[in-house]
């Protein structure tokens, strides 16, 4: 038979349903003989029930649930909006792939043309600077030769 100290250590595990068969039997034998430990057992059960009630999930208000469900239904029925996995999305995928290919092709052609004619860049705008002591702006001439910039 176990003493009150050992029983006190086992009571919480007993209330939580975590005791093995032999420990549970020894504790029950002790509880049959000890009113103080039965009182501790009742206290632990009550405490667990209070904690359970305090942390129980509360249902959301009916209005909130209805608004959420209505919003989801409207979003799923919205015409013209393709979502992944929807039939509209499947039709758009080949179109997007084709457009990306055309865009890549145009970028490649533009790079080839630029590398073939490096002077085709637009000249830089004249720079403005303050004339010494004049108080006004003086414009410098644009450079006559444009040097291509590296990529």
With beta carbons less than 8 A apart as the criterion, state whether 37 and 5 touch. Answer: no
Q: Give the three-class secondary structure for 129.
A: strand
> 3-class SS at 128?
strand
For the entire predicted model, the pTM comes to 0.39
What's the chain's length in residues?
A: 151
Classify residue 18 by its DSSP letter: -
At CA 43, angle to CA 12 and CA 6, rounded to 5?
40
Instruction: Give the pLDDT of residue 142.
Output: 54
Q: Is 147 helix (H, G, I), strand (E, B) or coil?
A: coil
User: Quick one: CA dihedral 108, 113, 118, 121, positive or negative?
Assistant: negative
User: CB-side exposure of 59: number of CA atoms within 13 Å?
Assistant: 5
Going 108 to 109 to 112 to 115, the CA torsion angle's sign is: negative
The predicted model gives 110-126 an average pLDDT of: 65
pLDDT at 96 (0 to 100): 84
pLDDT score of 42 more than 80: yes
């Amino acid at each position: 038979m176990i003493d009150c100290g050992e029983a006190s250590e086992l009571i919480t595990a007993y209330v939580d349903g975590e005791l093995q068969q032999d420990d549970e039997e020894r504790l029950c034998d002790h509880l049959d003989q000890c009113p103080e430990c039965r009182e501790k057992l009742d206290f632990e059960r009550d405490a667990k029930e209070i904690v359970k009630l305090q942390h129980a999930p509360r249902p959301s208000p009916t209005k909130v649930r209805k608004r959420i469900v209505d919003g989801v239904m409207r979003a799923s029925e919205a015409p013209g909006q393709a979502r992944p996995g929807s039939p509209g999305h499947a039709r758009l995928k080949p179109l997007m792939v084709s457009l990306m290919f055309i865009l890549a092709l145009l970028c490649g052609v533009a790079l080839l043309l630029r590398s073939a004619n490096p002077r085709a860049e637009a000249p830089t705008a004249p720079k403005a600077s303050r004339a010494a002591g004049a108080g006004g702006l003086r414009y410098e001439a644009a450079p006559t030769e444009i040097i291509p910039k590296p990529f």
